[in-house]
Structure 1
Amino acid sequence: MSVDTFTEPTPATGPSTAKWIISTAAALIVWGLVYSLLIPFSDWVVALSGVDPTSHLGEAIRFFAYDTPKVLMLLALVVFGMGVVRSFFSAEKTRTLLAGRREGVGNVLAASLGIVTPFCSCSAVPLFIGFVSAGVPLGVTFSFLISAPMVNEVALGLLFGLLGWKVALTYLAFGLAVAIVSGWIIGRLHLEHWLQDWVRNVRSGAADLPAEHLSVVDRIKAGTDAVREIVGKVWPWIIAGIAVGAFIHGYVPSDLLASIMGRDAWWSVPAAVLVGIPMYSNAAGIIPVVEALIAKGAALGTVLAFMMSVIALSLPEIIILRKVLTARLIAVFIGVVGSGILAVGFLFNALFS
């Protein structure tokens, strides 16, 4: 048998790589062209329906016809870009970066990593066990758990596309502050004894795997796979959220929302947080609702506090985390994060008044 039989396969070269790059560039150009036609498309849908464009139903149809493709397209673009970025990261790399970090610096690093690393409720248990068993301090781990769902790339990308860069950057700053400070506080409370016993007994015996060298084609495929997986899972929630937003946009009086969620109603921020905690949605599904509420005159801080509580303190995530945290530690987690979200809501209302 010749030695060539044992030669490792080499990555695709030349034309194959160029073909992928050209195809990706062409897809991005098509994306831009389609996006630029969304407003006339929504007007055409309203005209096709035969409904009076100035009526409540006409406004609702226009909102739904415009926002549905817009949000889905923005989501696909953001997820593709972050899928490529995430190809440079892995759970093992994240674990290695956080292991041995002291509180303070570790909280900042963990919260920052939460923005660009994949996290959802279904991966909470293995990630949490991996971090704890690797020696990552409990408070640092919580900074990551808070930041990843709340200050993720989907939330920031959609906020930027729908509400502008000022709102997106302010949300980023306050969201990171909640994650960092909440994690630091939980760490200072030294509540490791409130972990489930079996989690505290876990010991990590696996060595870190060497980083895999990925080609340009591999990274593009990672982006397309992310779009297929993430958008494929969340699109029903997006449409449901846009439908709610369309109803609000078309039928809910501005004065009513301003009185309930306006800046003058001080109780609206804690009420929004309490309502948001038991709900289940994600950034893609809740942001169209946020957009419609703000357009109707609701206070920005109140609406974003509602959004944060839905994303960061969702009931399914809490149920899954119950497998690794005791009820007392979950109560502390909800209390600390909820207090941070309250502060963000009031600060947003004060800054954007």
Structure 2
Amino acid sequence: MLTSIIDSLLYGALGLDPESRLVGALHFFLYDTIKIFLLLAVMVFIIGIIRTWLPEDRLKRWMGRGGLWGNMVAALFGAITPFCSCSSIPIFISLLKAGVPLGVTFSFLITSPIINEYLVILMVGEFETPITVAYVASGLFIGTVGGGILGKLKLEKHLEKDIIASANAENEVVSHTLVSRIRYGWDEAISVIKQIWLWVIIGVAAGAFIHNYVPQETIHSLMEATGIFSVPIATALGVPMYGSCAAIVPIAVVLFQKGIPIGTALAFMMAMAALSLPEAIMLRRTMQLKLIGIYFGITSLAIIFTGYLLNLLARYL
């Protein structure tokens, strides 16, 4: 419905050329900006209401258990939420403010854009079930282990001060009515939107430019020419890009059909889904550049390892 409204506005009311790259970038910007703000408002509102029933000290204990338990739960939660890398950030912020450990919240942030039901359905249709299962398992592995490593590094000091203050705040037990729960959720949604609205706009604008002005042919030729280094090259090419699930899967399919190894094609797809320049811009509101760099670095290394592993399995199975 949102796409139809924007189509009517740009191509009907304004009479713009749908074949123009600039118009395509504008369409992408409008669609993703509106979509993210709607998701932002609705999801933070819902989580805010849920938090009135779930005391934050209990949430901290449940998701902060020893080992990788919390990371596994967060990765599974990420897998069933239909968000892109930018849309996942509001939930990431809400989890941090609820006092969930940083490494656990990173497990959600990594897995949520890599796996969702829409992407899985597209993959089954394009790649068939075995490759889809391998992709989903790899995404859960990257989210769990990547978040676990980030948690062990004790990087909380690199969060912005207001985020740290929210996470460390002592929360008194409050008796809520239905009206007060709704008001709490509403206040949470408004608060988060005020904090990151500018970063959302800047990030989506960067994504719109990349999505419409970076030719797929260039990406394919670089991967094809790099041999054994194709996996890290594919990951490096995927990281700065940004696109929806509908765009990511067809690109990976074309690469695979043109002879790019499956692990390399899926590494590009994972990097493009999980990490992006717009995401980095939006994350700057919550953390310092050093932490963003560490998060991107560890996740990229996990994706590269997975790409090589899938290439190896494809060769011998």
Q: Same fold (TM over 0.5)?
A: yes
Verify the 8 A CA contact 2:237 2:268 in the aligned structure 1: yes
In the alignment, structure 1 residue 352 sits paired with structure 2 residue 311: no
Change in Cα spacing, 1:183 to 1:282, as seen in structure 2 (3 Å) is same
Q: State the distance in 2 between where 1:324 and 1:145 align.
A: 13
**Shift in Å at residue 205 of structure 1?**
7.0
* 1:137 is the counterpart of 2:101: yes
User: Which residue in the other structure is 1:183 paired with?
Assistant: 147
Counterpart selection for 2:305 from 313, 328, 343: 343
The total of aligned residue pairs comes to: 233
CA-CA distance at 1:128 after TM superposition = 2.7
| 2:88 corresponds to 1:146 | no
Structure 1 residue identity aligned to 2:248 = I
| Distance 1:123-1:164 versus aligned 2 partners, 3 A rule | closer
Aligned equivalent of 1:260, options 216, 225, 241: 225
CA deviations over 1:112-167 (Å, ceiling 9, x no partner): 01111243455445323321221211110000010101112222111111110001
Cα offset, 1:91, TM superposition: 2.9
Structure 2: tracts of 5 or more residues without a match: 1-41, 183-203
Asked whether 1:105 is paired with 2:66, we answer: no
1:59-86 C-alpha deviation (Å, 9 max, x unpaired): xxxxxxxxxxxxxxxxxxxxxxxxxxx9
Match of 1:91 among 38, 47, 68: 47
The unaligned stretches of length 5 or more in structure 1 are 1-85, 213-232
Alignment-derived partner of residue 285 in structure 1: 247
- Secondary structure of residue in 1 paired with 2:228: coil
Deviations 1:99-124 (A, max 9, x none): 32225111000000111124345544
Asked if structure 1 preserves the Cα contact closer than 8 Å seen for 2:60 and 2:99, the reply is yes
Q: Secondary structure at the match of 1:190?
A: coil
Per the TM alignment, residue 286 of structure 1 is displaced from its structure 2 partner at its CA by 1.4
Contact (CA 8 Å) 2:264, 2:307: kept in 1 or not?
yes
Using the size of structure 2 for normalisation, the TM-score is: 0.64
Does the 8 A contact of 2:82 with 2:117 survive in 1? no
After superposition, the C-alpha distances for 1:5-31 in whole angstroms (9 at most, x for unaligned) are xxxxxxxxxxxxxxxxxxxxxxxxxxx
Distance in 1 (alpha carbons) for counterparts of 2:288 and 2:70: 24
What is the alpha-carbon distance in structure 2 between the residues aligned to residue 119 and residue 143 of structure 1? Answer: 14
For the residues of structure 2 that align with 1:315 and 1:338, how far apart are their CA atoms?
13
Cα offset for 1:326?
0.8
Of 144, 150, 159, the residue aligned with 1:195 is 159
Q: Per the alignment, do residues 327 and 189 of structure 1 end up closer, same or farther by CA in structure 2, a change over 3 Å counting? A: same
Amino acid of the structure 2 residue aligned with 1:314: S
Worse-superposed segment, 135-144 or 203-212: 203-212
Q: CA deviation at 1:317?
A: 1.1
Q: Which residue of 243, 263, 284 corresponds with 1:322?
A: 284
Q: Does residue 307 in structure 1 map to residue 269 in structure 2?
A: yes
How far apart, CA to CA, are the structure 1 residues paired with 2:177 and 2:251? 42
CA distance in 1, matches of 2:238, 2:269: 7
Q: 1:122 to 1:352 in 2, by over 3 A?
A: closer
Alignment check: 8 A CA contact 1:287 1:307 kept? yes
Percent same amino acid at aligned positions?
A: 38
- TM-score, scaled to structure 1: 0.58
Aligned positions of 1:240-251 closer than 5 A = none
Q: Please provide the CA RMSD for this pair.
A: 3.5
Q: How many Å separate the matches in 1 of 2:146 and 2:78?
A: 14
Whether the aligned pair in 1 keeps the contact of 2:223 and 2:230 (CA below 8 Å) is no
Larger-Rg structure: 1
Query: What are the equivalent positions in structure 2 for 1:53-72 lying under 5 Å apart?
Result: none
Residues 98 and 180 (structure 1), Cα distance of their counterparts in 2 relative to 1, 3 Å cut: farther
Q: Which residue of 2 aligns with 1:117?
A: 81
Measured in 1, the distance between the counterparts of 2:233 and 2:286 equals 29
